[in-house]
Amino acid sequence: MRISERIRYVGMNDLKTQLFEHQWPLPYGVSYNSYLVIGDKIALIDTAAAAYEDIFLSNIKEEIGERKIDYLVVNHMEPDHSALQAVIRKEYPDCTIVTNAKAVPMIEGYQGLSDNIQIIKEGECLSLGNVTLQFFMIPMVHWPETMVTWCPEERTVFSGDAFGSFKAVPEGSLIDGFECFRDEMTRYYASIVGKYGQTVQAALKKVAPLNIERICPTHGPVWEKEISEVVGWYDRLSAAKLERGVCLAYGSMYGNTAKAAKSVAAELEKNRVVCKMHDLCEENLSFALADAFIYDSIILGSPTYNAGVFPPVQAFMDALKARGVKNRRFAAFGSFTWAGTSVKLLNNQAVEMQFEVAHNGLSFAQGYTPEKFDAEEIAKPFI
Ligand SMILES: Cc1cc2nc3c(=O)[nH]c(=O)nc-3n(C[C@H](O)[C@H](O)[C@H](O)COP(=O)(O)O)c2cc1C
Ligand SMILES: [Fe+2]
Ligand SMILES: [Fe+2]
C-alpha cells in the first residue's frame, strides 16, 4: 500500500489472535505495521509477527518486485515486529541490519543473526542515496533498545510502538481516524506502555523539534492530519493530565457488591459526574485500566475473600501498581459475611500508591440493601 512515492506499507491486519501478548483481548484485531523506504537503495523498517511470513514477503514483492532490500532497520525487538528478521535475511542475503548496540544481542538471541549488522548511534544518518534515515534512541518506550527512525525528506517518523494502537487498520486507507482509534489506543497505551510515562515524555521532547508531518507507528493507522490530536493524547496519558471522572471497577461472586457498584454509579450519574463502570469478572482488566489512565478518581468494589481482596479486584489493583498509577482520588466498598477486610486492605494499598483516600469506604454484611449501603455517602466526595 502506498503511503507516498517513497514510503510503502507492507504490514498486515491480524483478526485471528484473541489475546495480544496472550493477555489483552483484541475485539477489533490489531495490525503489525512495517514500511519500506524506497530510494536509490531500499530500507525495510521493522518486520512483523511470526504467523505472517507469506503475506509479508508477498506485500514486499508487490511494492519492489525483484529489487533487493539493502537495509533492515530494527527499531524494536519485541517479537511482534522482529519475528521475520531471519526470513528477510534468507530472502535478501546481502541486506544489512541497521540498529543500535542494545538490540544486537537481542537479534542474536531471538533470530540467531549476528553478521552484517551496522551499529548506529544517537542522531546518526544512513543515506539511501536520494533519501536519508536518521536514528534517535527512545529507551524504555517500552524496551531498552527502542529507537525511532526519522526520514527528513518525507518529514516522517517511524515511531515503533509509540503512537500505536490496537484495532486493525481499514484496508486500502490507513491514514488517520483518531476518534475511532482513541479508545483502543488508550487501552494499548495503558496495557503495554503505561508503566513508562516518564520515558514517553522524554521521547516526546526529543522528537518535538523535528517538525513531523507523518507518524508511521508499528500498530494502528498512519497519522498525518491528526498528528496534533495523537501527540496531544499521548502527552496527556503519559503526563497523567487527568480528566474529572470516576473509573468504577468491581468484582462480585453473588451479585451483592455488584448491586452496590450500580447504586454508586447511579448516584454519580445523577450528579452528572462521568462514571465508567467495569465488571472485572466479565471483562479483561485492560478496559478498566484505560479509564484509570484517563480519569482522576478510582472507586473499587470488592467482597472479602479468604480474609483478603477478591482476586479479580486485587489483580486490577496490582496492574495499577505495576504501572505506577498514582495521585488518584480513591474509595472502596464491598460485601462480606463474617469479618470484612477488603475495604481496609484496599485503602492501605491506595495510601501506599499515593492515592488520596477521599472516603474511608463502606462495607456491608451479607446481602445488599439500600438501607445497609449508603451510595450517596460514598459518592459524595466525588461529586
Ligand atoms: C471462597 C470464599 C471466601 C470467602 N472469604 C470470606 C472472608 O474471609 N471473610 C468474610 O467475611 N467473608 C468471606 N466470604 C463471603 C463473601 O465475602 C460474601 O459471600 C459476600 O457477600 C460476597 O459478595 P458478592 O455477592 O458481591 O460476591 C467468602 C466467600 C467465598 C466464596
Ligand atoms: Fe513492543
Ligand atoms: Fe508492538
Kindly report, residue by residue over 315-334, the tens digit of the pLDDT: 999 999 999 999 999 999 99
* pLDDT tier for residue 207 given thresholds of 50, 70 and 90: confident
> Is residue 62 scored above 90 in pLDDT?
yes
Whether residue 1 lies inside any domain: the answer is: no
- Whether the full predicted model's pTM is greater than 0.85, yes or no, is yes
What average pLDDT does the segment 58-81 reach? 97
Check whether residue 210 and residue 287 sit in a common domain: no
Alpha helices in 51-152 (DSSP H): 53-64, 79-82, 85-91, 104-111
Q: What is the pLDDT of residue 110?
A: 97
Furthest-apart CA atoms within the chain: distance in Å: 76
CB 94 within 8 A of CB 68: yes
Indicate the residue among 201, 219, 238 that finishes a domain: 238
Check whether residue 226 and residue 358 sit in a common domain: no
220 pocket-lining for ligand 1 (C-beta < 6 Å): no
Q: What is the pLDDT of residue 213?
A: 95
Indicate the residue among 210, 238, 266 that finishes a domain: 238
What average pLDDT does the segment 355-369 reach? 98
Check whether residue 268 and residue 367 sit in a common domain: yes
Ligand 1 atom at minimal distance to the Cα of residue 365: 21
Total residue count of the chain as it appears in this document: 383
CB 310 within 8 A of CB 177: no
Whether residue 2 lies inside any domain: the answer is: no
342 pocket-lining for ligand 1 (C-beta < 6 Å): no
> Is residue 2 scored above 80 in pLDDT?
yes
253 pocket-lining for ligand 1 (C-beta < 6 Å): yes
Q: How far apart are CA 354 and CA 352, in angstroms?
A: 5
Q: How far apart are CA 4 and CA 8, in angstroms?
A: 7
Ligand nearest to the CA of 301: 1
* pLDDT tier for residue 206 given thresholds of 50, 70 and 90: confident
**Distance in Å, CA 185 to ligand 2 centroid:** 14
Check whether residue 201 and residue 252 sit in a common domain: no
CB 52 within 8 A of CB 12: yes
Say what percent of the chain tops pLDDT 70: 100
Q: What is the pLDDT of residue 171?
A: 81
Indicate the residue among 196, 222, 238 that finishes a domain: 238
Check whether residue 207 and residue 301 sit in a common domain: no
What average pLDDT does the segment 144-148 reach? 95
Q: How far apart are CA 90 and CA 379, in angstroms?
A: 62
Q: Which one has a higher pLDDT value, 65 or 198?
A: 65
170 pocket-lining for ligand 1 (C-beta < 6 Å): no
In this structure, what C-alpha cell is assigned to residue 25? 483481548
> Is residue 176 scored above 90 in pLDDT?
no
Q: Count of domains in the chain? A: 2
Residue whose CB lies within 8 A of the most ligand 1 atoms, among 257, 282, 304, for a mutation test: 304
> Is residue 74 scored above 80 in pLDDT?
yes
Q: By residue range, what is the domain housing residue 141?
A: 7-238
363 pocket-lining for ligand 1 (C-beta < 6 Å): no
Ligand nearest to the CA of 251: 1
> Is residue 172 scored above 90 in pLDDT?
no
Whether residue 149 lies inside any domain: the answer is: yes
Please give the DSSP secondary-structure letter assigned to residue 124.
-
